[in-house]
């Protein structure tokens, strides 16, 4: 779950593990909200991962 904002076109945020080019475990929508201070709460499912990893949000 994340609060996101997009003043221009919106987009997709990739959820990746271990590094910015690591295995993608999910995506999060970042819809157009009209202004930087207009927020949209977004949720997504992620693939199950075992072990300890760093999580990267790539956009």
pLDDT exceeds 90 at position 1: no
pTM: 0.83
4-52 pLDDT tens trace = 999 888 899 999 999 999 999 999 999 999 999 999 999 999 999 999 9
What are the C-alpha distances in Å from 16 to residues 3, 33, 47, 53, 57? Answer: 18, 24, 10, 10, 7
Structural domain boundaries, residue 36: 2-58
Q: Give the model's pLDDT for residue 53.
A: 98
Residue 49 maps to which CATH number? Answer: 2.60.120.260
Q: Give the model's pLDDT for residue 55.
A: 96
- The number of folded domains in the chain is 1
């Amino acid at each position: 779950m994340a609060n996101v904002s997009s003043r221009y076109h919106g987009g997709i945020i990739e959820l990746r593990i271990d590094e910015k080019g690591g295995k993608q475990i999910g995506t999060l929508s970042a819809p157009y909200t009209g202004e930087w201070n207009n927020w949209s709460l977004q949720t997504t499912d992620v693939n199950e991962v075992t072990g300890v990893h760093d999580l990267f949000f790539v956009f």
